[in-house]
Protein backbone atom coordinates (compact mmCIF):
# COMPACT_ATOMS: atom_id res chain seq x y z
CA UNK A 1 0.00 0.00 0.00
CA UNK A 2 1.51 3.35 -0.94
CA UNK A 3 1.98 5.58 2.08
CA UNK A 4 2.66 9.29 2.07
CA UNK A 5 4.09 11.15 5.03
CA UNK A 6 3.91 14.82 5.86
CA UNK A 7 5.07 16.56 9.02
CA UNK A 8 2.96 15.25 11.92
CA UNK A 9 0.48 13.62 9.55
CA UNK A 10 0.64 10.32 7.72
CA UNK A 11 -1.45 10.40 4.55
CA UNK A 12 -2.38 7.28 2.64
CA UNK A 13 -2.59 6.93 -1.12
CA UNK A 14 -4.77 4.35 -2.90
CA UNK A 15 -3.98 0.69 -3.57
CA UNK A 16 -0.90 -0.66 -5.33
CA UNK A 17 -0.08 1.24 -8.51
CA UNK A 18 -2.60 4.05 -7.88
CA UNK A 19 0.12 6.62 -7.28
CA UNK A 20 2.38 6.87 -10.29
CA UNK A 21 5.93 8.31 -10.19
CA UNK A 22 4.47 11.46 -11.84
CA UNK A 23 1.82 11.75 -9.10
CA UNK A 24 4.56 11.28 -6.52
CA UNK A 25 6.57 14.19 -7.96
CA UNK A 26 3.45 16.40 -7.90
CA UNK A 27 2.57 15.37 -4.32
CA UNK A 28 6.11 16.14 -3.18
CA UNK A 29 5.91 19.60 -4.80
CA UNK A 30 2.74 20.15 -2.72
CA UNK A 31 4.45 19.31 0.54
CA UNK A 32 4.20 15.53 0.97
CA UNK A 33 7.56 14.44 2.27
CA UNK A 34 7.75 10.88 1.02
CA UNK A 35 5.81 8.42 -1.06
CA UNK A 36 6.36 4.74 -0.40
CA UNK A 37 5.28 2.71 -3.37
CA UNK A 38 3.54 -0.66 -3.23
CA UNK A 39 5.82 -3.39 -1.92
CA UNK A 40 7.85 -1.09 0.34
CA UNK A 41 8.64 -3.11 3.48
CA UNK A 42 7.08 -1.81 6.70
CA UNK A 43 10.56 -1.75 8.28
CA UNK A 44 11.67 0.82 5.68
CA UNK A 45 8.68 3.07 6.46
CA UNK A 46 9.26 2.73 10.22
CA UNK A 47 12.95 3.54 9.73
CA UNK A 48 12.00 6.67 7.73
CA UNK A 49 9.56 7.80 10.45
CA UNK A 50 12.15 7.24 13.17
CA UNK A 51 14.88 9.04 11.23
CA UNK A 52 12.74 12.07 10.42
CA UNK A 53 10.33 12.39 13.31
CA UNK A 54 12.00 10.94 16.42
CA UNK A 55 13.58 14.37 16.87
CA UNK A 56 12.46 17.18 19.16
CA UNK A 57 9.32 18.70 17.69
CA UNK A 58 9.82 21.26 14.94
CA UNK A 59 7.53 24.18 14.34
CA UNK A 60 4.87 23.23 11.81
CA UNK A 61 5.73 24.64 8.39
CA UNK A 62 3.16 26.58 6.40
CA UNK A 63 2.18 23.89 3.99
CA UNK A 64 -1.03 23.71 2.10
CA UNK A 65 -3.26 21.27 3.97
CA UNK A 66 -6.79 20.07 3.35
CA UNK A 67 -9.55 20.13 5.97
CA UNK A 68 -11.01 22.80 8.20
CA UNK A 69 -9.03 26.09 8.04
CA UNK A 70 -8.85 26.16 11.85
CA UNK A 71 -7.25 22.72 11.94
CA UNK A 72 -3.73 24.02 11.40
CA UNK A 73 -4.12 26.54 14.21
CA UNK A 74 -5.43 23.76 16.44
CA UNK A 75 -2.50 21.53 15.45
CA UNK A 76 -0.09 24.32 16.39
CA UNK A 77 -1.83 24.86 19.74
CA UNK A 78 -1.50 21.14 20.44
CA UNK A 79 2.21 21.25 19.62
CA UNK A 80 2.54 24.18 22.04
CA UNK A 81 0.53 22.26 24.66
CA UNK A 82 2.83 19.27 24.21
CA UNK A 83 5.92 21.45 24.73
CA UNK A 84 4.22 23.17 27.68
CA UNK A 85 4.60 26.56 25.97
CA UNK A 86 0.91 27.32 25.61
CA UNK A 87 -0.17 30.64 27.14
CA UNK A 88 -2.77 30.00 29.84
CA UNK A 89 -6.28 30.36 28.50
CA UNK A 90 -9.40 31.66 30.19
CA UNK A 91 -11.75 28.87 31.26
CA UNK A 92 -14.66 28.38 28.90
CA UNK A 93 -17.69 26.23 29.57
CA UNK A 94 -16.95 23.33 27.32
CA UNK A 95 -19.73 21.41 25.64
CA UNK A 96 -17.63 18.72 23.96
CA UNK A 97 -18.60 15.23 25.15
CA UNK A 98 -15.25 13.66 26.08
CA UNK A 99 -14.95 9.89 26.11
CA UNK A 100 -11.85 8.05 27.35
CA UNK A 101 -11.26 4.72 25.62
CA UNK A 102 -8.72 2.38 27.12
CA UNK A 103 -7.79 -1.29 27.32
CA UNK A 104 -4.93 -3.68 26.71
CA UNK A 105 -2.81 -3.37 23.56
CA UNK A 106 -4.50 -4.79 20.48
CA UNK A 107 -8.00 -5.16 22.00
CA UNK A 108 -9.45 -3.20 19.08
CA UNK A 109 -9.67 0.35 20.50
CA UNK A 110 -8.69 2.07 17.26
CA UNK A 111 -10.89 -0.15 15.11
CA UNK A 112 -13.82 0.66 17.42
CA UNK A 113 -13.06 4.38 17.34
CA UNK A 114 -13.09 4.36 13.56
CA UNK A 115 -16.47 2.60 13.56
CA UNK A 116 -17.74 5.16 16.10
CA UNK A 117 -16.46 7.91 13.76
CA UNK A 118 -18.51 6.32 10.96
CA UNK A 119 -21.67 6.44 13.08
CA UNK A 120 -20.94 9.98 14.23
CA UNK A 121 -20.50 11.26 10.67
CA UNK A 122 -23.77 9.62 9.59
CA UNK A 123 -25.84 10.76 12.55
CA UNK A 124 -24.50 14.35 12.76
CA UNK A 125 -24.35 15.69 9.18
CA UNK A 126 -22.57 18.89 10.22
CA UNK A 127 -21.00 17.73 13.50
CA UNK A 128 -17.25 17.71 14.16
CA UNK A 129 -15.37 14.92 15.89
CA UNK A 130 -11.92 15.01 17.48
CA UNK A 131 -9.73 12.01 18.25
CA UNK A 132 -6.64 12.07 20.47
CA UNK A 133 -4.69 8.80 20.30
CA UNK A 134 -1.69 7.71 22.36
CA UNK A 135 1.10 5.35 21.45
CA UNK A 136 3.98 4.24 23.66
CA UNK A 137 7.32 5.92 23.01
CA UNK A 138 10.01 3.28 22.68
CA UNK A 139 13.15 4.32 24.56
CA UNK A 140 15.26 6.53 22.31
CA UNK A 141 13.27 5.68 19.20
CA UNK A 142 10.20 7.90 19.30
CA UNK A 143 6.66 6.55 18.97
CA UNK A 144 5.20 4.76 15.98
CA UNK A 145 1.92 6.71 16.21
CA UNK A 146 0.38 3.99 14.09
CA UNK A 147 -3.29 4.29 15.13
CA UNK A 148 -4.17 6.50 12.17
CA UNK A 149 -2.84 3.90 9.74
CA UNK A 150 -5.81 1.55 10.12
CA UNK A 151 -8.49 4.22 10.16
CA UNK A 152 -10.82 5.06 7.31
CA UNK A 153 -13.57 7.35 8.63
CA UNK A 154 -11.11 9.38 10.70
CA UNK A 155 -9.73 10.71 7.41
CA UNK A 156 -12.93 12.73 6.87
CA UNK A 157 -12.56 16.53 6.90
CA UNK A 158 -15.05 16.72 9.79
CA UNK A 159 -12.74 14.60 11.92
CA UNK A 160 -9.62 16.08 13.51
CA UNK A 161 -7.15 13.47 14.67
CA UNK A 162 -3.96 13.91 16.65
CA UNK A 163 -1.55 11.27 17.93
CA UNK A 164 0.64 11.71 21.00
CA UNK A 165 3.64 9.68 22.11
CA UNK A 166 3.57 8.85 25.83
CA UNK A 167 7.20 10.06 26.08
CA UNK A 168 8.09 7.71 28.89
CA UNK A 169 5.01 8.28 31.05
CA UNK A 170 3.50 5.01 32.27
CA UNK A 171 -0.24 4.44 32.53
CA UNK A 172 -1.48 4.92 28.97
CA UNK A 173 -1.42 8.72 28.56
CA UNK A 174 1.21 11.45 28.15
CA UNK A 175 2.20 14.23 30.54
CA UNK A 176 0.64 16.67 28.06
CA UNK A 177 -2.66 14.82 27.70
CA UNK A 178 -4.73 17.03 29.99
CA UNK A 179 -3.47 20.21 28.29
CA UNK A 180 -4.14 18.71 24.84
CA UNK A 181 -7.65 17.60 25.87
CA UNK A 182 -8.39 21.15 27.07
CA UNK A 183 -7.13 22.59 23.76
CA UNK A 184 -9.31 20.19 21.81
CA UNK A 185 -12.34 20.88 23.99
CA UNK A 186 -11.98 24.56 23.09
CA UNK A 187 -11.98 23.60 19.39
CA UNK A 188 -15.78 23.49 19.10
CA UNK A 189 -16.07 19.71 18.60
CA UNK A 190 -19.26 17.86 19.48
CA UNK A 191 -17.41 14.74 20.58
CA UNK A 192 -13.81 14.02 21.61
CA UNK A 193 -12.59 10.42 21.76
CA UNK A 194 -9.34 9.92 23.66
CA UNK A 195 -7.60 6.58 23.07
CA UNK A 196 -4.96 5.54 25.59
CA UNK A 197 -1.96 3.43 24.69
CA UNK A 198 -2.41 -0.23 25.68
CA UNK A 199 -2.73 -0.45 29.50
CA UNK A 200 -1.90 -3.00 32.20
CA UNK A 201 -3.85 -4.31 35.18
CA UNK A 202 -3.14 -1.34 37.49
CA UNK A 203 -3.75 1.55 35.15
CA UNK A 204 -6.56 4.12 35.43
CA UNK A 205 -5.71 6.55 32.64
CA UNK A 206 -8.78 8.77 32.85
CA UNK A 207 -8.81 9.39 36.58
CA UNK A 208 -9.34 12.92 37.90
CA UNK A 209 -12.23 13.88 35.63
CA UNK A 210 -10.35 13.80 32.37
CA UNK A 211 -13.31 12.24 30.54
CA UNK A 212 -17.10 12.37 30.90
CA UNK A 213 -17.27 8.61 30.43
CA UNK A 214 -14.63 5.88 30.53
CA UNK A 215 -14.81 2.90 28.21
CA UNK A 216 -12.71 -0.20 28.87
CA UNK A 217 -12.20 -2.31 25.74
CA UNK A 218 -11.12 -5.91 26.33
CA UNK A 219 -10.77 -8.89 24.07
CA UNK A 220 -11.92 -12.38 25.16
CA UNK A 221 -8.35 -13.58 25.77
CA UNK A 222 -7.74 -11.85 29.13
CA UNK A 223 -7.03 -15.17 30.89
CA UNK A 224 -9.37 -16.47 33.60
CA UNK A 225 -11.80 -15.00 36.18
CA UNK A 226 -8.78 -14.55 38.45
CA UNK A 227 -7.35 -11.97 36.04
CA UNK A 228 -10.68 -10.12 36.12
CA UNK A 229 -10.22 -9.60 39.87
CA UNK A 230 -6.95 -7.76 39.18
CA UNK A 231 -8.02 -5.27 36.51
CA UNK A 232 -8.44 -2.02 38.41
CA UNK A 233 -10.08 -0.30 35.44
CA UNK A 234 -13.09 -2.61 35.86
CA UNK A 235 -13.97 -0.57 38.96
CA UNK A 236 -13.79 2.76 37.14
CA UNK A 237 -15.29 2.04 33.72
CA UNK A 238 -18.74 3.35 32.82
CA UNK A 239 -18.88 0.96 29.87
CA UNK A 240 -17.02 -2.34 29.51
CA UNK A 241 -16.71 -3.66 25.96
CA UNK A 242 -15.80 -7.24 25.05
CA UNK A 243 -14.56 -6.64 21.53
CA UNK A 244 -13.70 -9.47 19.12
CA UNK A 245 -16.99 -11.09 20.08
CA UNK A 246 -16.57 -13.14 16.90
CA UNK A 247 -13.72 -15.11 18.51
CA UNK A 248 -14.16 -18.38 20.42
CA UNK A 249 -14.45 -17.70 24.12
CA UNK A 250 -16.35 -14.43 23.72
CA UNK A 251 -19.55 -15.85 25.22
CA UNK A 252 -17.63 -17.15 28.25
CA UNK A 253 -15.86 -13.79 28.56
CA UNK A 254 -19.17 -11.93 28.57
CA UNK A 255 -20.63 -14.14 31.28
CA UNK A 256 -17.45 -14.03 33.42
CA UNK A 257 -17.41 -10.26 33.12
CA UNK A 258 -21.08 -10.03 33.97
CA UNK A 259 -20.38 -11.94 37.19
CA UNK A 260 -17.31 -9.83 37.95
CA UNK A 261 -19.14 -6.54 37.38
CA UNK A 262 -22.04 -7.61 39.58
CA UNK A 263 -19.59 -7.18 42.50
CA UNK A 264 -19.15 -3.48 41.64
CA UNK A 265 -20.92 -0.81 43.64
CA UNK A 266 -21.65 1.05 40.39
CA UNK A 267 -22.94 -1.12 37.56
CA UNK A 268 -21.20 -0.36 34.28
CA UNK A 269 -22.83 -1.25 30.98
CA UNK A 270 -21.41 -4.43 29.40
CA UNK A 271 -21.44 -4.64 25.59
CA UNK A 272 -20.10 -7.25 23.15
CA UNK A 273 -18.81 -5.85 19.86
CA UNK A 274 -17.19 -6.97 16.64
CA UNK A 275 -15.43 -3.76 15.64
CA UNK A 276 -13.94 -5.24 12.50
CA UNK A 277 -17.43 -6.09 11.17
CA UNK A 278 -18.91 -3.03 9.54
CA UNK A 279 -22.40 -2.19 10.86
CA UNK A 280 -22.10 -4.34 13.99
CA UNK A 281 -25.11 -4.01 16.34
CA UNK A 282 -22.86 -4.00 19.43
CA UNK A 283 -20.97 -0.96 18.11
CA UNK A 284 -24.34 0.73 17.42
CA UNK A 285 -25.22 0.17 21.07
CA UNK A 286 -21.86 1.51 22.22
CA UNK A 287 -22.35 4.64 20.10
CA UNK A 288 -25.79 5.23 21.63
CA UNK A 289 -24.33 4.83 25.13
CA UNK A 290 -21.51 7.31 24.62
CA UNK A 291 -23.55 10.09 23.06
CA UNK A 292 -26.37 9.82 25.58
Ligand X SMILES: Nc1nc2c(ncn2[C@@H]2O[C@H](COP(=O)(O)OP(=O)(O)OP(=O)(O)O)[C@@H](O)[C@H]2O)c(=O)[nH]1
DSSP 162: E
Size of the site for ligand X (CB under 6 A): 17
> Which of Mg ion, ligand X, none has residue 108 at its interface (CB below 5 to 8 Å by kind)?
ligand X
> Which of ligand X, Mg ion, none has residue 15 at its interface (CB below 5 to 8 Å by kind)?
none
Q: Quick one: which of 233, 132, 237 has its CA closest to 177?
A: 132
Binding status of residue 110 toward Mg ion by CB under 5 A: yes
Binding status of residue 109 toward Mg ion by CB under 5 A: yes
Binding status of residue 108 toward ligand X by CB under 6 A: yes
Binding status of residue 105 toward ligand X by CB under 6 A: yes
- Per-residue x/- track, 210-249, ligand X (CB under 6 A): ---------------------------------xx-xx--
Q: Decide: 142 and 165 in contact? Cβ < 8 Å.
A: yes
> Which of ligand X, Mg ion, none has residue 105 at its interface (CB below 5 to 8 Å by kind)?
ligand X
Applying CB under 6 A, among 111, 137, 163, 214 the residue interacting with ligand X is 111
**Beta-carbon-side half-sphere exposure of residue 200 (alpha carbons within 13 Å):** 4
Secondary structure (DSSP) of 204-271:
-TTTTTT-SEEEEEE-S-S-SHHHHHH-THHHH-SEEEE--TTSTTHHHHHHHHHHHHTTSSS--EEE
CB of 195 to Mg ion, least distance (A): 6
Which one of the spans 90-98, 101-109, 116-124, 157-165 is the region binding ligand X (CB under 6 A)? 101-109
Q: Decide: 285 and 270 in contact? Cβ < 8 Å.
A: no
Which one of the spans 155-163, 171-179, 201-209, 274-282 is the region binding ligand X (CB under 6 A)? 274-282
CB of 243 to Mg ion, least distance (A): 11
Binding status of residue 275 toward ligand X by CB under 6 A: yes
Q: Quick one: which of 248, 246, 249 has its CA closest to 273?
A: 246
Q: Quick one: which of 10, 165, 170, 11 has its CA closest to 83?
A: 165
Name the residue nearer to Mg ion (CB basis): 110 or 273: 110
Which one of the spans 28-36, 104-112, 233-241, 273-281 is the region binding Mg ion (CB under 5 A)? 104-112
Buried-state track 214-238, b at ≥16 Cβ within 10 A, e below 16: bbbbbbbebeeeeebeebebbebbb
Binding status of residue 147 toward Mg ion by CB under 5 A: yes
Task: Kindly list the strands in the beta sheet with 239-242, ordered across the sheet, starting from the edge strand earlier in the chain.
Answer: 159-165, 129-135, 191-195, 97-102, 213-218, 239-242, 269-272
* Helical residues (DSSP H) of the chain, grouped into ranges: 21-29, 42-53, 70-82, 109-123, 177-185, 225-230, 233-236, 250-261, 281-291
CB of 148 to Mg ion, least distance (A): 9
Binding status of residue 238 toward Mg ion by CB under 5 A: no
CB of 147 to Mg ion, least distance (A): 4
Query: Which residue ranges make up the site for ligand X (CB under 6 A)?
Result: 105-111, 147, 150, 198, 243-244, 246-247, 274-276
Amino acid sequence: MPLALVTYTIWFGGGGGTITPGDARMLKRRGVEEIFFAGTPLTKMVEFVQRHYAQPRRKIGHRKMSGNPNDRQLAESLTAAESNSLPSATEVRQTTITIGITGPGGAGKTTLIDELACRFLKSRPSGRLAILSHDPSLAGKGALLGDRAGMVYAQDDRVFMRSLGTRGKAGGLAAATRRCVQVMQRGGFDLLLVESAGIGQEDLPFARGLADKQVLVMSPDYGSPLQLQKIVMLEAADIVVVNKADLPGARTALSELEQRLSLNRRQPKLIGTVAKRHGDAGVDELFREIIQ
